[in-house]
Amino acid sequence: MNFKSKTYRSNGKLLLSGEYVVLDGAKALAIPTKYGQSLTVEENDTYSIIWRSYDDKGELWFKDEFTLEEIATSQNIEIRNDISNRLIQIIKAAQDLNPEFLNSNQGYNIATHLDFNRKWGLGTSSTLINNVANWAKINAYQLLNKTFGGSGYDIACAEHNTPITYQLKQPESPLIEPITFNPVFKNQLYFVYLNQKQNSRDGIKAYKALNKVSHATIESINGITDAMINCSSLDSFERLITTHESIIADLINQPTITSKLFNDYHLGEIKSLGAWGGDFVLATSKTDPSGYFKSKGLDVVIPYTEMVL
């Protein structure tokens, strides 16, 4: 018997400006990454979803099987693990948005493949949501709102192959503008992984609890985002990200990442990418800064051109 199969793929994401305040309508600069995740759907002759997830090494890191009845009724989910429960929640939410989805008793083998380390925070969840939304033929922003929540910039990156500006004008209908962001100093930009996976939902909750954002703050970040896009020199770019760091540090009552971890960094400037900018920082340097970061125990230093799509 010939079973049909189809593969969906979504890009990972990084947020270069507007972290946190993007939730309140600020214009953010976001970039899709070369790293992403695929989801392959193949029909099978069971009445079940047989799910397999593979990491960037091609190794199986998760597997489970759900009957279509379990999904439809959400039965037995309390005895499963957190990942299985989350998958059932996502599939059930997709069915709520499209009642035709999975209503034919057709079973499927599902295989997801990451091409980045899943600890990196480049969008394991957002790429999954976008892939499932494409499979179910539904609005990915609506599916996000029913499951993980968040600003949705990561969904926009999943779907776009160029840098974008992202602004929340109204729920489930963000203002997304593909842009040209190809700075002449891109070879002096690096992404450094901090070896600590953050939970974006915790970051969002803490930010909202402080409730310090103002219209003036939003306007300042919008101006910085526009200036970053049009920046023609590394010195100017460094001044912009330093100002951005000060604004956000004040908003969230946290020290800047430089003062906290890198106060002896003299090769350039360092910008946090937020609680959900992956767990990377953006570092500027006119020479390869890998030696400095390796002395801090940070071995993952990725040049801008190797990261950005």
Vertex 149: Cα angle to 124 and 42 (nearest 5): 45
Contact yes or no for 284/55 (Cβ under 8 A): no
Domain boundary pick from 159, 177, 195: 177
The CB density around residue 194, as the number of other CB atoms within 10 Å, is 21
pLDDT score, position 277? 43
> 280: part of which helix (H) or strand (E)?
strand 280-284
160 Cβ neighbours under 8 A, 6+ residues apart = 11, 32, 176, 178
pLDDT score, position 150? 85
Question: Are 195 and 231 in the same domain?
Answer: yes
Contact yes or no for 259/247 (Cβ under 8 A): no
pLDDT score, position 171? 62
Helix, strand, or coil here: 37? strand
For the chain, what is the domain count?
Answer: 2
Helix, strand, or coil here: 247? helix
Would you tell me the crossing angle of helices 215-229 and 234-252 to the nearest 10 degrees?
Answer: 160
Question: Are 195 and 256 in the same domain?
Answer: yes
Question: Are 166 and 225 in the same domain?
Answer: no
* pTM summary value: 0.93
Question: Are 204 and 265 in the same domain?
Answer: yes
Question: Are 187 and 165 in the same domain?
Answer: no
Question: Are 66 and 122 in the same domain?
Answer: yes
Q: What CATH code is carried by the domain that includes residue 191?
A: 3.30.70.890
pLDDT score, position 50? 97
Length of the chain: 309
Question: Are 135 and 159 in the same domain?
Answer: yes
Domain boundary pick from 177, 192, 219: 177
Q: What CATH code is carried by the domain that includes residue 113?
A: 3.30.230.10
The Cα-based distances of 34 to 5, 91, 157, 298 in angstroms read 24, 26, 11, 21
Question: Are 157 and 238 in the same domain?
Answer: no
Residue 239 half-sphere exposure, CB side, CA atoms within 13 Å?
A: 7
Digit-by-digit pLDDT tens for the chain (309 residues) are 567 899 999 999 999 999 999 989 999 999 999 999 999 999 999 989 999 999 999 999 999 999 888 887 775 556 678 899 899 999 999 999 999 999 888 999 999 999 999 989 899 999 999 999 999 999 999 999 999 988 899 999 999 999 999 999 876 679 999 999 999 999 999 999 998 765 566 667 777 777 778 899 999 999 999 999 999 999 999 999 999 999 998 888 888 999 989 999 999 999 999 664 448 999 999 999 999 999 999 999 999 999 999
Measure the CA–CA gap between 91 and 97, rounded to whole angstroms. 10
Contact yes or no for 193/179 (Cβ under 8 A): no
Residue 140 half-sphere exposure, CB side, CA atoms within 13 Å?
A: 22
Question: Are 29 and 151 in the same domain?
Answer: yes
In 3D space, the residue among 295, 31, 116, 290 whose CA is nearest the CA of residue 303 turns out to be 290
Helix, strand, or coil here: 8? strand
Q: E strands, 18-106, where?
A: 28-44, 48-54, 60-67
Domain range enclosing 296 = 181-307
Q: Which residues of 233-259 are buried (b: 16+ CB within 10 A; e: fewer)?
A: ebeebbebbeebbebbbebbeeebbbe
Question: Are 133 and 266 in the same domain?
Answer: no
Alpha helix positions (H), 211-284: 215-229, 234-252, 257-261
Residue 245 amino acid letter: E
Question: Are 46 and 59 in the same domain?
Answer: yes
Contact yes or no for 276/149 (Cβ under 8 A): no
